[in-house]
Homo-oligomer: A and B are copies of this chain.
Amino acid sequence: MESSQTLKPGMAKESIADLLRRHEINPTHQRVEIAQVLFERCEHLSADQIISHVNARFAETSKATVYNTLKLFLEKKLIRELIIDPNKVVYDPNTTPHHHFYDVATGRLTDIPADNIRIGTLPALPPGTVSDGVDIIIRTRPAA
């Protein structure tokens, strides 16, 4: 299982295309552009920000395609979805297990490597269900 976190910021378009292919995603021009925006910055971006970045030089990708593509990337587990801000979903190119600080004043999101948090005993899951992952969000605010 290849992992996206091996990507370097300067990764070439060809590598991006390969990454998509390894995740069973047909690397169209638009999909490569969107993946590039996500993996070059390696930040937590909203759909809106992605649309802006992709179309910064000149309009080349529609809103519908960006939403379609993000959903596809999610299905193929190339990226993660974070539901933290009530107004917008943000997408996380880092699919390794990790958690987040969320500054309630600024909205800023910061990664926390999974090894920095140790969870003791997980409680018994509701009957008939299995775990699909654990999300931990530590809300922070400016000191004093």
List chain A positions with a Cβ less than 8 A from chain B.
Answer: 81, 83-86, 89, 101, 103-104, 110, 112-113, 116-123, 125-126, 128-144
* Chain B residue contacts of A136, Cβ below 8 A: 119, 134-137
18 contacts between A and B (CB under 8 A): A81-B86, A83-B86, A101-B125, A112-B123, A113-B123, A116-B123, A117-B120, A117-B121, A119-B119, A128-B142, A128-B143, A131-B140, A132-B140, A132-B141, A133-B139, A134-B138, A135-B137, A136-B136
A125: which B residues are within 8 A, CB to CB? 101, 138, 140
Copies of this protein in the complex: 2
A45 CB to closest chain B CB, in angstroms?
Answer: 15
When distances are taken between beta carbons in the complex, the residues of chain B under 8 Å from A126 are 101, 103, 110, 140
Contacts of A129 in B (CB 8 A): 101, 103, 140-143
Interface of A is mostly: strand
A71 CB, nearest partner CB in chain B, Å: 12
Cα–Cα distance between A126 and B112 once the two chains are bound (Å): 10
What's the Cα separation between A85 and B144 when bound, in Å?
32
Q: Cβ of A123: which chain B residues have Cβ within 8 Å of it?
A: 112-113, 116-117, 138
